[in-house]
Amino acid sequence: MLERIDSRTLAEYMALDRIDPQGSLRGDVQAAVVASTVANCHRGKGSRAFGIKDFLPFTQDEKQTSSDIETQLMQLVQLTKGSD
């Protein structure tokens, strides 16, 4: 992918994904919203309310740096090199 698009286009895709994630992450968040709503409807009095993070398969509390993202992209390029 990095060989086919320029850095500006890649940065735009990355910014868009932060604003409006697509794919499995978005589906996980949508499912977590439904799961937390159902769980809160059935929780007992005085018990803690569930949040979306309680139903995500992972949570990312720490922010990724641009260096981390670049490293991951380069690893992806190496893994997919030679395939379209």
What per-residue string of b and e applies to 27-46 under the rule 16 or more CB within 10 Å gives b? Answer: ebeeebeeebeeeeeeeeee
Chain-centroid distance of CA 19 in Å reads 11
The predicted pLDDT at position 26 comes to 73
Residue 84 has pLDDT above 60, yes or no: no
| Best CA proximity match to 54, nearest among 68, 69, 39 | 39
* pTM passes above 0.85: no
pLDDT digits (tens, 9 = 90+) for 30-74: 899 999 999 999 988 899 999 988 888 766 555 667 777 777 777
Distances (CA, A) of 24 to 5, 27, 63: 23, 5, 19
